[in-house]
Amino acid sequence: MDALGRRLWVGINGLELDADTARHLGEIRPGGIVLFRRNIDSLQQCRRLTASLRDLLGSSLHVAVDQEGGLVERFRGLLPSFPGNMALASLGVRDPAMAAHLAREQGRLLGLLLRDLGINVNFAPALDLAVTGANPSTGLRSFGCHAALAGALGAAFIEGERRAGILPCGKHFPGLGAAEVDSHLDLPLVKAGPASDALAPFRAAIAAGVPLMMTSHVVYEGLDPDAPATFSRAIVHDLLREELGFKGVTVSDDLEMGAMQRRFSFADVVRRAAQQHDVLCICASAELQRDALKHLRAGVECDAAAAAAHKASLARIETLPPWSSPAGEDLASITKEAESVAEAIAGRAISVVRDDRRLLPLRGAVLVILPVRDAGSPVEDPLRGESDAQELIRALGDGARALELPARPDAAAIAAAVQRAEDAEALVLVVTAATFRIEQQELLRAVLARRPETVVVALRSPFDLAAAASCAAATLVASHGFRPLQLRALASVLRGQTKSYGRLAIALGSSS
């Protein structure tokens, strides 16, 4: 069966196409390459890498990346840093039209910058509703919990990407929002099927012409109790293709994730995922990529139905437009415009959720207590690797000082924080993962018991504010992100230099 490799989109190691990698890719002939942070050192290096990949595999090769904004940015520090989807949603609660305009502009400008690098597929936007704070992987990546707003913003983002000549990919169908296990680690189980609201952003994306749709490694018992979406005909064919009318290319999430590897043999993963998906993503292991090709070949050679499905998948993949070089864009102007849009989103996303005691604007000397480091965490944490506490302190100006704590403060660290809090003229207590870290909840309780009139800032997930909501004297603020431009915007609101504009796009009562 010809062109089997076209259905594999694979990751590679390194910053350049070395001889071993070229030999491997020449053997499997994948239809796509997925770039990760490990493949990116500079913009010029990335251009060379994508050009060398197409020299080897042809202009029909798709080069993909996850550049969502916010938590997921492969070009952090190299391209303008956009806030995540939740930031757009928070300003969209107040002004949906403005939020949709900014989402469209973010998609367009980001698309132009990616095309300049030889990238023509962006695995964005995430369309999962933020329905519970217990979800470990959605959070700021979501356009919030309001289905109509999330759908409008997702559609606008997609329209912007398409206008720039980028192929957007909606994810993670039929929605990861209700999951309470990270599928990178293990297989989540959701007792019911996705609510109709959870499907609304995917309907909107399809109406906006999204050409690719990525599914999720989640079991939805209400739809298919026997299989995750990755393997489920009921979800991929019956729901996505037949009921919602999606005619484009279906893409699996990475088949090396823990949700797959911990529960199934790899041969079973490939065989069953290939029955429902046009493209299979295998993003790390060259050995597994070779194995996947063998399992695909065995399936189509031994099973007439698999052979027919393979032919249909190839036909859909061929509808994706091939790579074409960008036409001499003014990158300096695009970059400047992108930075302006990112600042507009960040500034308008800061949300003062409650300030009944009028603690804002902050006056006098400010003590900021914040957990900043968690070197043992495998995931990206606020203020780890791209910023530090001093970014916020500098933005707050003269008289501001920081008490930095571990991300999991022990009893001694909490006691020291309480002691320092008692004497502070103005107090800001930052949390970065209070929903999941009992230590940060204990820090909140201890400080608020001694100093209830405290400004509590949720730097990462606004769901973290639920842990402080019972303290009526506390002021609650959500920044919807922790990048430097968001810390500067936060400081401007805390000091009263600008007014808070954003509103929560989630329900705090859904934090557990």
Q: For residue 170, what is the enclosing H or E element?
A: strand 167-173
User: Catalytic: which of 101, 184, 237, 291?
Assistant: 184
Q: For residue 368, what is the enclosing H or E element?
A: strand 366-373
User: Is 146 a catalytic site residue?
Assistant: no
Give the Cα separation of 275 and 231 in Å (integer): 7
> What own/partner pairs with CB < 8 Å and gap ≥ 24 does 230-237 have?
230/255, 230/259, 230/260, 230/269, 230/272, 230/273, 230/276, 230/277, 231/272, 231/273, 231/275, 231/276, 232/276, 233/275, 233/276, 235/173, 235/174, 235/276, 236/173, 236/276, 236/277, 237/276
Buried b (16+ CB within 10 A) or exposed e, 120-146: bbbbbbbbbbbbbbebbbbbbbbbbbb
User: Is 410 a catalytic site residue?
Assistant: no
User: Catalytic: which of 116, 182, 224, 253?
Assistant: 253
C-beta of residue 383 within 8 angstroms of C-beta of residue 487? no
Give the Cα separation of 294 and 112 in Å (integer): 37
C-beta of residue 147 within 8 angstroms of C-beta of residue 200? yes
Virtual CA dihedral for 288, 289, 291, 296, nearest 10 degrees? 140
Give the Cα separation of 468 and 126 in Å (integer): 28
Give the Cα separation of 223 and 192 in Å (integer): 7
Q: Which two tokens stand for residue 69?
A: 């904004």
C-beta of residue 115 within 8 angstroms of C-beta of residue 165? yes
Give the Cα separation of 309 and 30 in Å (integer): 18
Give the Cα separation of 452 and 436 in Å (integer): 22
Q: What are phi and psi of 457, to 5 degrees?
A: -115, 125
Q: Which two tokens stand for residue 6?
A: 């076209």
As beta bridge partners, residue 431 has: 458
Q: For residue 104, what is the enclosing H or E element?
A: helix 96-116
Catalytic residues: 184, 253
